[in-house]
Amino acid sequence: MLYIDVPLTVRYAETDRMGIVHHSNYPVWFEVGRTEFIKQCGISYSRVESKGIMLPLLEVHCKFISSSTYEDKIIVRTSIKSFSKTRLNFKYEVFKSDNMDNPITRGETSHVWTTCDLKPINLQKHYPELYEIIEKSARDV
């Protein structure tokens, strides 16, 4: 799987006084894309967490190129940028659905695999089936 696209419609509450999407919504949209990406790989976040494995956020980066407004139809494109036995990095592009050639925003998030008490783990050792799923999904990266 190279990437997944998640369609969203900008809600009024996601806009600011200027009528454009407030910057704080993009990390939320990235999470929507990331959660759907994991689900499309064949496993849900809740199933991963039921195994005692967490994927906390270490860093988030976002570059705003253009803006979006209320009721715009957008697409959040999510892919794996890189991964290792302990880390997972995602890449995001947000497009207006009528212009998939020019992203309005680009972003990245970095995560670490941990236990429930936030101690880093080697995913390949602790949950080899999930590591194989991630590896397979990232193969086209």
Q: What is the CATH number of the domain that holds 68?
A: 3.10.129.10
Asked whether 89 and 29 are in contact (CB, 8 A), the reply is no
Q: Which residues are catalytic?
A: 16
For residue 4, give every residue at least 6 positions away whose Cβ sits within 8 Å of its Cβ, in sequence order, or none. 33, 36, 37, 40, 77, 78, 79
pLDDT tens digit string along 79-130?
999 999 999 999 999 999 999 999 999 999 999 999 999 999 999 999 999 9
Q: With 80 as the cut, is the pLDDT of residue 141 above it?
A: no
Alpha-carbon distance of 67 to 114, in angstroms, equals 35
| Percent of the chain residues topping a pLDDT of 90 | 88
pTM over 0.85: yes
How many distinct structural domains can be found in the chain?
1
Kindly state the tokens that stand for 110.
């970095």
Q: Which domain holds residue 24?
A: 4-138
